[in-house]
């Protein structure tokens, strides 16, 4: 019996592949019956179970008693006979996983998922004979659900079977009770109700059920059988049992001789009153239905179905059939059968244990929220180190804490260094995100493939399009080199976590040190951006960034409605090298901290600022953003800048090696260090993409009030 998730899961019922494969290998019977009800689980474990069944010499009969979802549907394919009920569920989809890390790690995970899908395809294709269809199911990232009959049609199962055949004997008595109830209800009922009750009588009737009825009830049943052939059949049964057949008043009937029809005798030892026994069986069935349905009565479809079954008292509907129909109804509703739990293919027990340990370490360091039910929650660093050592199979008995921590660092299969790396990486990234730097709000990130110098082509540096007459030739366009060459540089530092820090349970080593390194990385990159602006570098045309010939250097003025409007107009009148107007829109002002408040006042004021008139309208109100930074004050507390909308023209870009915009941690451990060392590295560099994207006003000091 395979009931539960496939593989070892810490927080739910699951089936161990290693134990099950071992049990399969010990079976000596000629036929193996596998009862299956699983939401799926770990792909590798499911493949192992499938292959163990396939390789066994016995005949395998696999029956889906509830559902065979995800990798469980592959186990179904191991059966020589694949059985489903009408209300069984089968689901096939592509293997999935969770991943974290670099782009290389994601590519490796994608390759692993493709390999898993390829292996699964062989099993599905071999049994279904529909390779192309199965390949689609395993690659389109859709959950494909099938009822029992649909699974047979799709080649995922062989046969739809009925409910337990042994129930027929028990149901005969219950059917007799139901017929008695129908007969009592017919008296005085309206015509539509009578027609419905007659239909129920005919559906519940069989020779065995008929033989168990009293003579009065048999006569009444025959009077309500509308089908002539069926009516004649039961008249013959009654006649051969030695009982006369009632005829309607005024009608003479003759019964031709017929071959005797065997009537099933009552079982030896049966109760004296079969009707009472049948009623007891019906009550038991209703109790079973109520127990199964109660947890799901919040579902309107389930509630309506169960109430209808109970009201009809149709003994042909067994508790087992009701349960399977409830499962089918739940499968079509919004809520999944497993309560919303996500079964992740591709993870194993070691991955789950490592994730739980990592969460425990980071939670104690204040980096994440502790997971509920985590068995490592609250453990000290030394205790987690011991758990890592024991997970390798090594014995820590008799070792002191220094020895245990040392082995946790140095054992070839220990996860402890990686756990520390996870915690350190989270702290570095948290610090990088927390640093109060705003350069990413007025620059654009670009991906650079390597460390070679790269020339950036500014938007707007491409020549205008030409009019092409009918049949004419297109002319080659040209780019002008108006940008600054970019060369990625590496910023980095080292930090070490020692054995002493682990033994002392020094959590600051995971929060404060790497966190501050992350802040320093972002701060260093911000400094490079503002050094670029303050340095006014020489561009490819031999002129400085801010130059009269670039038409991006304005007459010195204090920030006001008029001066901001003049900068916006200057940008809108900007031209390319061929003297074509390109109309650069201004996104915002970049100012020293000393001018930040004034810039915001100009942005939000209702009336013009600095005009000398009281009620002149502020024509630049809410037309730009404001960013200020102290590194501009270090150069000049008066100069301010206009930044273009990068959707039109890039002014400043920040290049990142292969698009990695966060610091990278590289780990090193060995004999020459008493712990683990990490190298924090950020490969990036800012550059000017186009002088048309940034404008400067040298500014003037604010007037001093007398």
296 a catalytic residue: no
SS (H, E, C) 418-468: HHHHHHHHHHHHHHHHHCCCCHHHCCEEEEECCCCCECCCCCCCECCCCCC
| Exposed e or buried b per residue across 246-275, where buried means at least 16 C-beta atoms within 10 angstroms of its C-beta | beeeeeeeeeeeeeeeeeeeeeeeeeeebb
235 token code pair: 């008249």
Integer Cα distance of 279 and 174 in angstroms: 6
Residue of 73, 88, 93, 483 marked catalytic: 93
Known catalytic membership, residue 55: no
Which residues in 393-409 are b (16+ Cβ under 10 Å) and which e? ebebeeeebeebbbbbb
Judge contact between 663 and 449, C-beta under 8 A.
no
Phi, psi of 395, deg, nearest 5: -100, 130
Residue 576 sits at φ, ψ, to 5 deg, of -90, -175
Residue 490 β-bridge partners: 683
Write the burial class of residue 46 (CB in 10 Å: 0-12 exposed, 13-18 middle, 19+ buried). Answer: buried
Catalytic residue among 14, 38, 50, 70: 70
What single string gives the DSSP state of each residue in 496-546?
A: EEEHHHHHTT-THHHHHHHHHHHHHHHHHHHHHHHHHHHH--B-TTSSBSS
Other CB atoms within 10 A of residue 670 CB: 9
Estimate to the nearest angstrom the gap between the alpha carbon of 277 and the chain centroid. Answer: 52
Q: Tell me which residue of 692, 668, 695, 698 sits closest to 681, measured CA to CA.
A: 668
Q: How many CA atoms lie within 13 A of 225 on its CB side?
A: 22
The catalytic site residues sit at 70, 93
């Amino acid at each position: 019996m395979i009931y539960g998730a496939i593989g070892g899961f810490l927080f739910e019922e699951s089936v161990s592949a290693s134990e099950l494969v071992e049990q399969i290998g010990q079976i000596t019977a000629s036929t193996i019956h596998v009862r299956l009800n699983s939401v799926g689980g770990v792909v590798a474990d499911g493949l192992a179970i499938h292959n163990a069944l396939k390789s066994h010499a016995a005949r395998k009969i696999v029956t889906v008693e509830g559902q065979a979802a995800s990798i469980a549907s592959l186990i179904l394919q191991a059966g020589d006979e694949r059985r489903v009920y009408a209300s069984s569920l089968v689901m096939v989809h592509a293997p999935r996983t969770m991943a974290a890390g670099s782009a290389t790690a994601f590519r490796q995970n994608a390759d692993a998922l493709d390999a898993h899908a390829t292996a699964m395809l062989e099993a599905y294709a071999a049994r279904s004979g529909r390779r192309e269809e199965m390949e689609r199911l395993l690659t389109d990232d859709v959950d494909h659900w099938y009822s029992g009959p649909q699974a047979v049609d799709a080649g995922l199962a062989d046969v739809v079977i009925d409910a337990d055949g042994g129930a027929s004997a028990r149901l005969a008595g219950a059917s007799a009770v139901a017929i008695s109830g129908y007969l009592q209800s017919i008296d005085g009922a309206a015509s539509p109700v009578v027609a419905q009750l007659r239909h129920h009588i005919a559906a519940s009737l069989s020779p065995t059920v008929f033989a168990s009825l009293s003579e009065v009830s048999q006569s009444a049943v025959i009077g309500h059988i509308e089908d002539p052939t069926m009516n004649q059949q039961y008249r013959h049964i009654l006649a051969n049992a030695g009982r006369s057949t009632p005829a309607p008043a005024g009608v003479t009937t003759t019964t031709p001789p017929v071959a005797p029809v065997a009537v099933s005798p009552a079982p030896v030892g049966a109760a004296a009153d079969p009707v009472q026994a049948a009623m007891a069986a019906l009550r038991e069935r209703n109790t079973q239905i109520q127990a199964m349905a109660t947890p799901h009565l919040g579902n309107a479809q389930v509630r309506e179905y169960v109430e209808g079954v109970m009201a009809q008292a149709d003994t042909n509907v067994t508790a087992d059939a009701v349960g399977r129909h409830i499962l089918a109804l739940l499968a079509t509703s919004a809520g999944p059968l497993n309560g919303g739990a996500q079964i992740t293919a591709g993870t194993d027990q070691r991955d789950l244990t490592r994730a739980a340990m990592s969460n425990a370490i980071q939670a104690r360091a204040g980096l994440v929220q502790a997971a509920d039910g985590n068995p490592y929650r609250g453990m000290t660093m030394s205790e987690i180190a011991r758990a890592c050592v024991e997970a390798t199979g090594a014995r820590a008995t008799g070792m002191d804490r220094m020895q245990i921590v040392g082995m946790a660092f140095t054992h070839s299969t220990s996860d402890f260094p990686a756990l520390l790396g996870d915690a350190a990486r989270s702290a570095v990234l948290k610090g990088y995100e927390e640093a109060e730097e705003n350069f990413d709000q007025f620059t654009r990130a670009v991906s650079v493939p390597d460390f070679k110098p790269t020339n950036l082509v500014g938007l707007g540096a491409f020549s205008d399009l030409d009019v092409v007459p009918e049949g004419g030739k297109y002319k080659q366009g040209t780019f002008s080199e108006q940008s600054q060459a970019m060369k990625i540089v590496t910023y980095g530092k080292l930090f070490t976590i020692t054995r002493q820090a682990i033994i002392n349970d020094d959590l600051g080593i995971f929060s404060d040190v790497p966190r501050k390194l992350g802040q320093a990385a972002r701060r260093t990159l911000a400094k490079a951006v503002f050094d670029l602006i303050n340095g006014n570098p020489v561009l490819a045309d031999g002129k400085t960034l801010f130059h009269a010939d670039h038409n991006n250097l304005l007459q010195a003025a204090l920030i006001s409605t008029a001066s901001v409007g003049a900068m916006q107009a200057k940008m809108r009148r900007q031209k390319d090298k061929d003297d074509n107007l390109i109309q650069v829109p201004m996104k915002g002002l970049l100012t020293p901290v000393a001018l930040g408040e004034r810039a915001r006042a100009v942005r939000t004021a209702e009336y013009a600022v600095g005009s000398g008139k009281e009620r002149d309208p502020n024509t630049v109100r809410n037309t730009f953003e404001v960013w200020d930074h102290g590194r501009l004050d270090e150069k000049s507390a008066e100069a301010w800048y206009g930044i273009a909308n990068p959707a039109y023209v890039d002014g400043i870009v920040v290049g990142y090696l292969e698009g990695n915009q966060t610091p990278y941690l590289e780990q090193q451990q060995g004999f020459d260090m008493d712990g683990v060392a990490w190298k924090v590295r950020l490969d990036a560099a800012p550059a000017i993409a186009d002088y048309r994207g940034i404008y400067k006003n040298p500014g003037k000091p604010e007037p001093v009030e007398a």
